[in-house]
Structure 1
Amino acid sequence: MFHTLKQVPHSIAFPASNTVESGAAKEDQAISITYDKSVTLVRINCPRQDGHDWVIEAFTALEKCGMAFDMVSIQPGEVSFTVKSRLVDSVYRSLEKLEVYPDSVTDCVKLSVRGRSGQPLLSSMITMAETLAQCNIPLLRLVESYGLIEVLIATGYISEVRKALAKNFNC
């Protein structure tokens, strides 16, 4: 996880959730939103037809350089992950040795949404995806882990996302 996060000036609260997996009715807790503006999405298309060996080689090369990455996705024929923008050149140099040439989406921001009390957020992923879709904001990544929701978007949309969250979540 990246450590340079900035607090958004105001907190917002999600509306009450009507359903909960356990069957018990419970409202979402107040949330906090933090973000990191210095993120790049790196995408690697399968360079060879030798199965997943190239994936192992690529991650081994990144590990040898002490590369920290996040939001990993391994799909047939494509691997992608996020890194701090200042590390992109190192990623390219590490993979060049393997004759792997990724492309990247620069100027991304990673929003992290979590409950203030540490409780899991209910129906937040769906709400977040719907909010961004309603605003026609391209969603580069959406992940959830133990109630922490992380969204990757282009930096240019940060102001619009904050307004949409305020509007849709009655802040």
Structure 2
Amino acid sequence: MQRISLTPRPAPARHVPPPSSAGLGWALRTVLRDYLARADAVLATAPGGQHGYEILAAVSAGDYGTQISLANRLGIHRTVVTDRIDDLERAGMLQRHLSAADRRVRRLVITDAGRAVLTELSAGLEAAEEETLASLDEDDREQFLNALHLLARRPVAAA
């Protein structure tokens, strides 16, 4: 059985024109592959990788509620979220505190170490984004990101 690698491959040369019937898919895939290669290098040392980073960011922003609502918001299976929170807690980046309002609920609190790692990872991801979009001038970059965020916020079409 052939083994499938989830590691992004280096982006092909950008001068190769896409097949006319797959222009959007080719363009998105090419840009995403480039960004992911850079982002993966930044997140390689983070406990929990991409998921760990997303959890730290959500907890830092106070934007999560319960662990189940955090899992739903991030689109990560709840058991994976629990595992990543365990990883982050063992690494000293998060703490679980009993909720004063409901002792069945554990509130997540980011530690100073977690905040420092989050700041470092965020800076690295920002640099990865800058490098990926370096061929766009400031106005084009702003328009591209605005359009991309608009598309990302749309409801997903049913399959």
- Is TM > 0.5 for Structure 1 vs Structure 2? no
TM-score of the pair, normalised by structure 1: 0.23
Higher RCO by CA contacts (8 Å cutoff, separation 6 or greater):
1
Query: 1 or 2, which has the higher strand percentage?
Result: 1
Which one has the bigger helix percentage?
Answer: 2
User: Normalising to structure 2: TM-score of the pair?
Assistant: 0.24
